[in-house]
């Protein structure tokens, strides 16, 4: 059982559940640690800062680094580290948000897509590339979030930015689904990679599953579920 000190600072590895936002995870954890003994100072309860190092979309699962206390000062350092993801692309169809949160808006031919093409198309994404974030994203355009503009039914120009993909491999092909593993830099949108990969196949594609498996040297296999974290706190408080 870990001896936590949330006021001094902790770096917590959490397995974000499916459909939860990263913000909801942080709020849940803040609630759970509220009455922890480490937050008592001179018989008075003190607040502990808490934040996460890198947002995961609601439909994504996987590693979320949550920092408390003085460790929140290092959040940017964790955010900047290399990330690894696994997931699934659905070939032959696109959605407005590039994942399955919204309905399919267009279908594309797939009969011409061979296994060889599926493998070779990954090569053009290796290295430093320009990537345009999805319109349904938290990118700010003129002081307004892109997803707010999109929800109003409006369009806006989002400038591409440079990212780095060091590894992009196909791990399973079962048309129209393709599983992948990607190692990339901070700021990479895997939803945009799905869309661009569909274009590279002269077709369309969207993301149907995503899991973040690593941030720097921190691995998902070492993360706790929220239920396991709550159990640890209950045992500590008792």
Question: Distance between the two ends of the chain, CA-based, in angstroms?
Answer: 12
Tell me the C-alpha to C-alpha distance, in Å, between residue 77 and each of 64, 73, 115, 216. Answer: 14, 9, 39, 10
Tokens of 99: 């994942």
Task: Give the whole-angstrom CA distance, residue 148 versus residue 5.
Answer: 38
Longest CA pairwise span in the chain (Å): 71
Tell me the C-alpha to C-alpha distance, in Å, between residue 121 and each of 65, 85, 129, 195, 197. Answer: 32, 18, 14, 13, 7
- Residue 56 phi, psi (nearest 5): -115, 140
Q: State yes or no: is 57 an active-site residue.
A: yes
Q: Which of 5, 57, 148, 222 is catalytic?
A: 57
Tokens of 9: 């600072």
Task: Give the whole-angstrom CA distance, residue 89 versus residue 195.
Answer: 9
Residue 6 and residue 21 in contact, taking contact as beta carbons nearer than 8 Å: no
Task: Give the whole-angstrom CA distance, residue 221 versus residue 238.
Answer: 27
Number of H helices, E strands in the chain: 6, 15
Catalytic residues: 57
């Amino acid at each position: 059982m870990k001896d936590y000190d949330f006021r001094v600072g902790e770096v917590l590895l959490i397995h974000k559940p499916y459909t939860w936002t990263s913000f909801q995870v942080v709020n849940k954890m803040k609630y759970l640690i509220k009455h922890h003994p480490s937050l008592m100072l001179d018989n008075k309860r003190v607040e502990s800062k808490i934040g996460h190092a890198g947002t995961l979309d609601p439909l994504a699962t996987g590693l979320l680094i949550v920092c408390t206390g003085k460790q929140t000062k290092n959040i940017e350092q964790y955010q900047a580290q290399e990330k690894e993801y696994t997931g699934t692309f659905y070939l032959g169809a696109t959605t407005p948000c590039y994942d399955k949160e919204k309905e399919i808006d267009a279908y594309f031919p797939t009969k011409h897509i061979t296994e060889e093409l599926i493998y070779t198309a990954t090569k053009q994404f290796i290295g430093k590339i320009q990537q345009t974030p999805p319109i349904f994203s938290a990118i700010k355009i003129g002081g307004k979030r892109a997803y707010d503009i999109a929800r109003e039914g409006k369009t806006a120009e989002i400038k591409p930015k440079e990212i780095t993909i060091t590894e992009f491999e196909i791990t399973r092909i079962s048309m129209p689904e393709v599983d992948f593993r990607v190692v990339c830099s901070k700021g990479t949108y895997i939803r945009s990679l799905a869309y661009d990969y569909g274009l590279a196949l002269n077709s369309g594609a969207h993301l149907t599953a995503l899991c973040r498996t690593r941030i720097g040297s921190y691995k998902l296999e070492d993360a706790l579920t929220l239920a396991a974290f709550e159990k640890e706190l209950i045992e500590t408080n008792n």
